[in-house]
Structure 1
Amino acid sequence: MNQAQLKTVLIIIVLVACHGTLFSQKDFERHDFSFHAGYGNMLKGTPTLTIDTHSYQRELAQGVSWDGQYHFRPIKRFIFGAIYTGFSSKGSHPEGKDHLLIHFFSPQIGMCNAHTKHWQIRGGVGPGVLFLRNNSEVFGKKRKVKASSIGFLINSNATYKLTSSLGLGIGVQYLFSGLVRMKTHYHGETTIVRFDENHDANLSRLNLTTGLSYYF
């Protein structure tokens, strides 16, 4: 056996050994899907509304949050996957009303605790894309706002495993994002509004949720 053949055999042995170490462990599930729902709060502002009073902004800053997640664990402590999180709030005032919808999609990379019988705790981070829509009304006429932006999500979850395949958990997420511009359609006209440092267009949001996870 020449030197090249010997190197090839050694490389194959190393790869097989690594594969056995990293991917042949049977004491944890590699995939999990989860769905959570709960409370969301836009802590730093609520742009795009039909009026900008502080009390109305705080009313619309609080709403329903939900998310769907998928994660894959190639080894016990390392995870990667994807998350979708949504937010909805509604409010009205004498001159009109607002229905705010925000959608965010992000890949995730993070760490998971070592295998335990009942608990899985994981945390992840990732950039993503945000889509905002405000289906509002002013003086009886429809007003629609659309905007998109980028953001960054910090995501943590703690799950109690009821069985090897089913878990009940809680989640905490913080989304960093803001608007650069928005497009408003009202009374037959479309207007593009650009935000600068003098206009608060912060969309950062804290989510507190609970839900189910499925492992396989």
Structure 2
Amino acid sequence: MSANSRNAVLVCLGLVIFMTIIPPAMLGSTEGRAWRFIYDYQTLIAGSLAVASAFATIFEMRRSMVQQAQQHQTQLNISTLPSRLAVGRFMASIQPELRNCATHVDSFIAEAMLASAGEWTQATNTKLIGCVMTIQRVADVLKSRQSELGSPLFTARLEENIKIIMASFDLFQIVVPEDQQRIVMIYGDSARPDWLDPVIFPLFEDITAQCNHLADEFEQWAITMLGANWRT
């Protein structure tokens, strides 16, 4: 309770005591309308002052509780600041990569479907390279130091979705050549790569769905950790 509120309560209590004790003692030998009014209504006046004092006390208690809650939240924000910064940095890297990966893979699948009905083109290979590279970038971010810093704060559901997409990435690494040079060599070439097995297309579709789903999961996680305005 602040000093001003404490003084106000003491004043009210003093008035209650005054109205209860002093007027009856004085009115025994003093006449006058003002004192007679006080004498007749002293109980009501004293009760009103007591109620006012109670309301002042309740108001001050509520204000004190709000201040304590604000101080607690401030201390909590300070204590969790490193974790919040880690979450923010990680989201700034993983969220765009997941969306970008899904877009590139979708674009390649659409181009490949057209190519299967006609001829494989240089544009198809260019989209394939973009697809492979964006998948690799997502895998790298999920294995990065930023991911390690944020991982203690991951929910069980988020961890499960990360494991699922990483399993798809591991399968992708089996299908796609480990030698990056073989991938880069198709740039500018219009021939379909000999290593591009048809089994990779269902895998690409799964990766697209998993990237979009994981991006949504990370979005909800960031809102929980940082609030709805976590991007600002």
TM-score (norm 1): 0.25
Where is the strand percentage greater, Structure 1 or Structure 2? 1
Higher RCO (Cα < 8 Å, 6 or more apart): 2
TM-score (norm 2): 0.23
Where is the helix percentage greater, Structure 1 or Structure 2? 2
